[in-house]
Amino acid sequence: SRRKRPKPLLPLAEGQSLLRLAWDRLEGLIPRENRFVAAPEALEDPIRRELGLPAGQFIGEPQGRDTLNALGLALGLLHRRDPEGITGVFSADHIMLPRQAFLSTLRRGYEIAAAGKNTLLCFGVPPTEASPAFGYLELGESLKTGEVGARRVVSFREKPPRRVAEEFFREGPDRFLWNAGVFVFKNSVFLRALKKHVPENAGPLEQIVRAWDAPVPEAPPGRFPDNCRTLFAGLKKISVDYGIMEPASRDKDFEVAALPLTLDWRDIGSWPACAGLWPEDPQGNHSGPGRILFKDCRGSFAFSEDPRHLIAALGCDDLIIVHTPQATLVCPWNEAQGVKDLPALAEAQFGEEFL
């Protein structure tokens, strides 16, 4: 990934970007004119090209300040458009199949959020392994009669140590679910929770929303107002899970609940996770796009963006090989999480050319 072409824009799933998959997944439930994309403003052009997105449906942030602030800005703007509105939040780095199972559960989620006065709804996935790479939802009692499967969330357990993840896995999906990164809530309820639990961020975000369409040259309609950039840069960087969902789960003024997503859910957060999207040969190798040749290899994965380029791997076990026109990655399978450290090293040695 690159700053101008991050993971959601890469053609990782059968030639489709994860952003496009997330967008298309909503067909049949949420009209296109009611879908908005919140992302760094520097990505506006590639995102709008990818989706054919009208300018008024892109909400650009001047810099990344984590998910709480992205949602605080977006839902503040949407609340101004529709004070009674309900918003679904969908991360653009997941695979969810089959789509109809996702839409059916999501439809129920909207009904639950609409019926509740103070409900913050999230979605969980039954764990398939004791993974420390995901957040966990600890479930309590059923939400109420008639809402089959909806459970109160007692706590959020973000990326626990493996020993703890193994305990959660043994408890089973009736007690713990993986946090799927999908939420539904009334805009007004979310903004109330933001004001109560992160007031130091709520105030500046309200100022930015008020200034968004101000008739001044620095803030053309639909664009982040330049006179508020310092405000946004000064916001405490925090995720929506830590900032709102976790404290709200202990707050009697709110009702944090979860619905299980019983489908094939994959968080494409690493190259090993991406490998699972592609066929496996008898030796356990996965061939992504491009021309890939394995000989005497086991448990390896290769991916190429250049259709004219051949990747030939000989005697390679448990390796990841990724070729792009600008850079090539080679690493052991179990070192894949360390990829996130490479951009800073590349910048220190070669400047910004490979960022």
Position 194 pLDDT exceeds 60: yes
Quick check: 205 and 194 in contact, CB under 8 A?
Answer: yes
What's the CA gap between 145 and 150, in Å, rounded?
Answer: 9
Which one of 66-75, 153-162, 220-229 scores highest in mean pLDDT?
Answer: 66-75
In Å, how far from its chain's centre is CA 143?
26
Q: Looking at residue 215, what is its pLDDT?
A: 52
Mean pLDDT of the region 195-211: 97
In the block, tokens 């479930």 appear at 139
pLDDT band at 340 (very low <50, low <70, confident <90, very high): confident
Give pLDDT, residue 222: 63
pLDDT of residue 217: 42
Q: How would you label 253-267 residue by residue, b for 16+ Cβ within 10 Å and e otherwise?
A: ebbbbbbbbebebbb
pLDDT at residue 71 greater than cutoff 50: yes
The predicted pLDDT at position 2 comes to: 81
Rounded Cα distance, 343 and 349, in Å: 10
First to last CA, the chain: 8
- Residue 269 has a pLDDT of 82
pLDDT at position 148: 60
Position 22 scores a pLDDT of: 95
Closest Cα partner for 247 from 154, 114, 112, 343? 154
More confident residue, 215 or 325: 325
Rg of the chain (C-alpha set):
21
pLDDT for the residue 213 = 72
Beta bridge partners of 320: 301, 331
Phi, psi of 90, rounded to the nearest 5 degrees? -130, 120
pLDDT score, position 4: 80
Share of the chain above pLDDT 90, in %: 75
Considering the chain, what percentage of its residues have pLDDT values greater than 70? Answer: 96
Taking residue 284's Cβ as centre, other Cβ atoms within 10 Å add up to: 14
Question: How does pLDDT run across 218-262, given as a tens digit for each residue?
Answer: 434 468 998 999 999 999 999 999 999 999 999 999 999 999 999
Please write the tens of the pLDDT for every residue from 252-304. Answer: 999 999 999 999 998 888 898 889 888 899 999 999 989 999 999 999 999 99
**What confidence score (pLDDT) does residue 11 get?**
85
Rounded average pLDDT over 307-331: 95
Mean pLDDT of the chain: 92
pLDDT, residue 157, reads 85
What DSSP designation does 2 have?
A: B
Cα–Cα dist 265/133, whole Å:
14
